[in-house]
Structure 1
């Protein structure tokens, strides 16, 4: 978790900066009582600036040239009039690039240094303080098959842009624990895998959709001190299920962004394809969590020509139900200085260990149109997935630098509809391997996918071998150039592409780049 880099102004006695500002203008500006109104627009003539009062907080909007920004805030918060003051608490989770997993904890305040475009002259922080958070990410992959595959010697570039807005409804309209999210995606670029490589697993995890999409449109409600989160609207299962931050360091779609056979063998909705959905996310204790969701299943859910705008629900649609259970321990805890003091000059200590994340999930889908490879349809699909990651070496007690190991697997036993009934992924990640590069990641991944006999028979060509399994070995190093940018050179070696052994093994070299705006 990054520390906030917001400059802290020195305090005068026990009064905060906000209190001093209010006192400075107490003789010139009279604020209405909070019980009467929570949102007031004022113009301080002697200072020539506009001010927005939200509850007991004051946002200095600056001179007239910035009045349009105030108008936006007023439009979003108009329903706040007539509300009583409610304690404001911002969610501690932010939406990141789905490839890097949406469950990464974030600082509780806006940090300009984490964004390429900074604070927009202070406007972005004002929006954030008022309850509007803007997020934008852009990632690209440029790679090519230097040997092997269908047609060696080709390279392509693919791109994924993800932008959106988060509205903290508690700050805006006094809706305690409410959050509204809307986001969009734009994908572009030519698919290297299908035309030139010939593997089951895509060597470019950003391929799929390749058009602009309206992605998330959902409402979230937090309850019981954020231990319960309810989501309803348009989003995908991969936002909350079958995911891990470790997957985002792979360029191969067999790992990033989900255990791939869960997507191959069900109608498991995944980024960038949203569906109607509802989910309950439970965090009853620091070490345990549970998630339950139900998602729309339809023929057109992966149709990229609709741009995410087909919101219809048809009588022939089915559903996919998911349950996931997680355990997040810290092993081998040791006392680590908290940086605080007991007031007597003796440093305080907290117990920290090596973090781990373990989860098991089960999916069941009822839908009448699962196509059997050898003809006909199946009316349901089911399977299981597991994931475990654990820090196994720590450079210093309490440090996040060291070696991490993860193992993930999916099992979908219906060979008549499952392309890859069994898959296992293994990864080694070292954070801060080289001196002076504390935020870099050195990664090694391996994927094994066992193909079903029914699938092998359905794609078999006379004189060729039957498909059996495909393997991928990947190595890369992510250079964290700044807080808001990275570049990751990467090499993939695909063994038995397509699973038959008839296509020569493939060497793919390239890089992934990303920016947080």
Structure 2
């Protein structure tokens, strides 16, 4: 996409790191042993980074801090003593050190790369405490812990056209991502709504990584195919659905959080669960009008770039059915009638789960070849079965303006919108059990990413959510009042040391 994408990709800290490294590599392409480190607060670290660069070693430290406030709607939480207004401020923060080694420079192994990173997570999630939404308002919200993040080795072949990555991986840095959509802070624009709420623990996505193998083949500049096989349940959670699995049967009244990232005493990220199922994922990418690395020397217009992606996954694990119990009857009706038969109150377990998706990123305008200014649009849709999932269909789209003001070449302003629909299985369960039927949740985001210093990006953000979680009540049961629409303000800071 040339230089039309956001300076920093806000999908998660790993993509923040990768997008900053790409800019650094472009600035340092003529002298790899003396990289341009003007985009690092600590610069060359008194010569240490030059020495490391000569040996193929890169050390990055990424710091992200956010302040959020919800000014309307929302729901009270235990943080308020369970009787608060549902509005108020919240802080979350993250520090991620990453060590990457180019093994060709270090020991002469051509095409070999080793990577290890860790996370220190702090603060509270405004989404979990106050919003009651399908997916967090920020992709950086996470359960507090200090944990191993990624630990992998990558080897390239065929002159770089083929590469294989093996180890602990975060799949949402490479799969399911829109280049233009990565500007936005709402997590629905990163690892989208459906896999986040349908898979165990959200699957291998920030801040969780899984043992995996990823294969990528790029026969030309225009075509890429990727495949990954990963553990589908990084924290080893027992549940993937609160309402269905924990509100009925022998598990009724359980307080286990199905989205917990620290389940089974795995706050360190070093216990590798392999007992639930395998997530098999593939993606095809086709780029039109790929852009040269250095547009300043281009004399012939290569055209407006675009990337088109098709993909999907299959999860081999078992998932609770939202409509039927173990006896083949209606699970919701058994709950409504107060059945005492545990088989009536226990969901049927279905083998396997799937999702398909499509993504479009397309530049639609730029005033000249050398201009930093451009306008790009994106759209993404996901779809999956509705009998064993909370979300069956979701769409997000938006428009970005790069370099909106003279002298602000690395700034980007964007407006994005998305919708997620509760599955027919969830709606049938609601209908049969006599509770509010969940429908569509809509979210709007207006954001401005500003490069304050070469090493510091600030991003003020506004979001509005209609019908949070498709219209769930303020409390479980047939409450006459649903969670109100939410106006959310945020300020995001990203510093590279």
- 1: CA distance between counterparts of 2:373 and 2:279? 38
In 1, are the aligned partners of 2:419 and 2:442 still within 8 Å (CA)?
yes
- Please name the residue that 1:469 is paired with: 440
Question: For each residue in 1:280-334, what CA deviation from the matched residue of structure 2 results, as whole angstroms up to 9, or x when unmatched?
Answer: 11111111111011001347166424135444455x4321111100011128x99
Matched, 1:498 2:469: yes
Q: CA deviation at 1:422?
A: 0.4
| Partner SS for 2:322 | coil
Q: Is the 8 A contact 2:12 2:206 kept in 1?
A: no
Aligned CA RMSD, in angstroms, stands at: 2.6
By how many angstroms is 1:425 displaced? 0.3
Deviations 1:13-33 (A, max 9, x none): xxxxxxxxxxxxxxxxxxxxx
Q: Name the counterpart of 2:113.
A: 179
Offset of residue 383 of structure 1? 1.3
Residues 223-248 of structure 1 deviation map (CA, whole Å, 9 limit, x = unaligned) = 11111111111112213211234333
Structure of greater relative contact order (alpha carbons < 8 Å, 6+ residues apart): 2
C-alpha spacing 1:263/1:275, structure 2 compared with 1 (3 Å): same
- Equivalent residue, structure 1, for 2:307: 357
Larger Rg: 1
**Deviation string for 1:392-440 (max 9, x for gaps)?**
0102124342111000111112x12211110000111101112221211
Distance in 1 (CA, whole Å) between partners of 2:154 and 2:223 is: 21
Structure 1 residues 260 and 164: CA distance shift in structure 2, 3 A: same
State the shift of 1:494 in Å.
0.4
> Partner residue of 1:19?
none
Q: Is the 8 A contact 1:262 1:412 kept in 2?
A: no
Query: In the alignment, which residue of structure 2 is the partner of 1:291?
Result: 226
Where does residue 97 of structure 1 map in the other structure?
13
| TM-score, length of structure 1 as denominator length | 0.74
Distance 1:494 1:312 in 2: 36
Asked if the contact 2:17/2:62 (under 8 Å) is kept, the reply is no
Pairs aligned (count): 411
Deviation at 1:96, TM superposition (A): 8.6
Question: Who is 2:98 aligned against?
Answer: 164
For 1:216, the equivalent position in structure 2 comes to: 150
1:34 equivalent in structure 2: none
Whole-angstrom distance in 1 between the partners of 2:436 and 2:37: 56
Matches within 5 A, 1:203-242: 203-242=137-176
Q: Which runs of 5+ in 1 are unaligned?
A: 3-94, 340-347
- d(CA) in 2 for partners of 1:280 and 1:353? 30
Residues 181 and 378 in structure 2, CA contact (< 8 A), matched pair in contact too: no
Q: Does 1:198 align with 2:132?
A: yes
Runs of 5+ consecutive residues of structure 2 not aligned to the other structure: 4-10, 76-84, 238-259, 324-346, 473-481
Residue 271 (str. 1) matches residue 202 (str. 2): no
- Aligned equivalent of 2:342: none
Q: Which residue is 1:132 aligned to?
A: 57
Answer yes or no: is the 8 Å Cα contact 1:389–1:406 preserved in 2: yes
